[in-house]
Each structure stands twice: as C-alpha cells, then as structure tokens.
Structure 1
C-alpha cells in the first residue's frame, strides 16, 4: 500500500446514496464511509479539483430506485462547474455515461475513487480508469461494502472489511492503493470545469 501520493485532479464518489448510508440497508461501516468521503469531497473542493458524484439508478423496487428517498445522494452537491452528478445503470461508472467526456474536457489525468460497493462499482470504475490510462488513487478507508453471507459447502460469512481488501488487491498493481483517505491530496485540473 502507498502511504503518500502526489495530488490528483478529480474525485469520483461512487454511489454514496442514502439507502446505503442509513436505515435498514445501511452498510456495516456506513459512518466511517460517510466521514471519509466527506473529508475527501471537502479537500477536493478546496483545491479546485473536479468532483463527480456518481448516482446509481437501481431497478424498480430496489433501495436505490430513482425518485425514492434511498436514491438520493448522501452528500450535498456543490454548485459550480467543478462539481457534477453522473447517473449510471451499470457497475462501471464509465459505461454508457458522460464520465469519460467530463474528465477529458477538464483535462484530468489523475483521479481518486471512493464510495461503494468495494467489489462491484468501486472496483469496476477504478479498473476502467486504469485501463483508460488515468493515474488512479484508491483510498482503502473510503470504500466499503456488505458482509458476504455464509454459503454451506463454500465458506462462512466473509466480513465486509475482508471483501473490501480483496476488491482492492488486484488494483494495487496498477493503482495507488492508500491506507488512509487523509493521505489523498488534490489539485485543480488544467481546465476550470467540464
């Protein structure tokens, strides 16, 4: 794991929506996730970095179904061209969205990815960012997921912390996986906004 990284030009906050940060569907470590992502957002805003809030459009009846209270973003979206919302329907926030175009138009070459779920949307988004040749920073304490239930004949319960660690492991060859969100620093991209 990397303990210090050079500043990144964008922050991609994946699916930090109210369904997963409170209530019956809250992640086991939702309070930590909210605290770490709030800190990242505040530092990115202060530095003039691009902040992209990714909002998942869940299926009908899902906790994050569009238009329901659970679908709403947990963190308020700031005003101005350097903070945007990208809605998605796939795990990968680049797939069928404007995310790539937004990053390109702002001149972004480096970004941090945080949010949920570690092994699904966070990993898929970070993997695509790496494949697109962005320098990617993944702060380990700023992504989270659920426990994986026990499956007879396969495994006992796999705790959420272990799932998050395993999700980040294959990215560590090509991305900077940092232990702490507090170690991630930001700078403004070359262009003022997308």
Structure 2
C-alpha cells in the first residue's frame, strides 16, 4: 500500500448545482478528484473520504439526514475505503483521521476537495502540523467568492490566495497532471 494516502475532503452534493451552497468550478475540480482517485487506487495508495455533516438541522448546508451531505457520485468511495464524518472545518478535529493515518504508517498526505478557503486550508495546516508531508492538488479543489468589508473577492482569487499561503509554509501545491506523473 505504501506510505501515502489521498484524503478527499467534502466532495458532497450541496456543493454542486442544485445544492444548498454551490461552489465555483466544482464540476472541473471533481473531475480532477476522479483522476486523482483513479491513479491513487491503481497505485494501491490509501484513500480516505471526509464527509462533513453539521449537527444542527438549521445549518446552511450539509444538514443531518439530507441528500446534500451525501458524498457526490464523482468521488464515491469504493468498497474498503474509509469514510470519516466530521463536524468542523479541520478534518482532524474530533475525528480519528490521525489515528487511521498513523495505524497505516502513512507519512505523506495528499489533500483534494472543498472548500479551498475553509476545510482544505484547515485540514492541510493540521496535516502539516502533525508532521505529515502534505500535498494539495490545487485543481482538484474548489471554493466560491467571499465577501469582507464590502469587498467581494472572486472565487479564483480566493483559491489562488489560499494555495499561495499553503505553498508558502504548509504543503507542496501541485496540479492534477503532476500528481498523475508521480
């Protein structure tokens, strides 16, 4: 199996058109997630799916017992792949993700999914802080425009800013083609 795992964060129905919190570029990002998954599976690498469910039925998305919190078919787990449910942006917070990785002797963590500015950011930083060699496949991640102080920041700039910050000190940031070659 090796010592690398691909962690697929929150590729869930609510982020897709028709969902409660649609992301810009989610179709393209999820297509790249599919390529990453196919390559990882062919290499015999560990695949772990993260599924965010807010405990409050009044949450803006990923509500309990909803179709929106289900993993999207483009990233569907295969038999034997672990699915970890989380309630916070950081996939390690109050989950057994670290224990699962440690039990398998994982040293390298590859992160894909959504949202670049929130759960990807929090998960990547935690992964690095725990000592894992961490990689983000940037074009297999998606986000949406953000507003602050009356300024709307387009999704492409939100994504680029997050990837630049992660590349500065927390992770190798690559694209799908680079992952497929390596």
Q: 1:167 to 1:54 in 2, by over 3 A?
A: same
C-alpha distance in structure 1 between counterparts of 2:166 and 2:25, whole Å: 22
Higher relative contact order (CA 8 A, sep 6+): 1
- Paired residue total: 175
C-alpha distance in structure 2 between counterparts of 1:42 and 1:150, whole Å: 38
Q: In 1, are the aligned partners of 2:3 and 2:105 still within 8 Å (CA)?
A: no
1:83-102 matched pairs, under 5 angstroms? 83-102=81-100
In the superposition, the TM-score normalised over structure 1's length comes to: 0.84
C-alpha distance in structure 2 between counterparts of 1:72 and 1:22, whole Å: 14
Task: Give, in angstroms, the shift of residue 186 of structure 1.
Answer: 9.1
> Which structure has more strand as a fraction of its residues?
2
- List alignment gaps of at least 5 residues for structure 1: 1-6, 188-194
SS of match in other structure, 2:153: coil
Question: In the alignment, does 2:135 pair up with 1:137?
Answer: yes
Q: In 2, are the aligned partners of 1:43 and 1:186 still within 8 Å (CA)?
A: no
Q: 1:8 to 1:165 in 2, by over 3 A?
A: farther
Of residues 5, 9, 16, the one that matches 2:11 is 16
Deviating above 2 A after TM superposition, structure 1's stretches of 4 or more consecutive aligned residues are 149-152
1:1-194 matched pairs, under 5 angstroms? 9-24=4-19, 25-58=21-54, 59-62=56-59, 63-74=61-72, 75-80=75-80, 83-149=81-147, 151-152=149-150, 155=151, 157-172=152-167, 173-178=169-174, 180-185=175-180
SS of match in other structure, 1:95: coil
- List alignment gaps of at least 5 residues for structure 2: none
Q: In 1, are the aligned partners of 2:30 and 2:141 still within 8 Å (CA)?
A: no
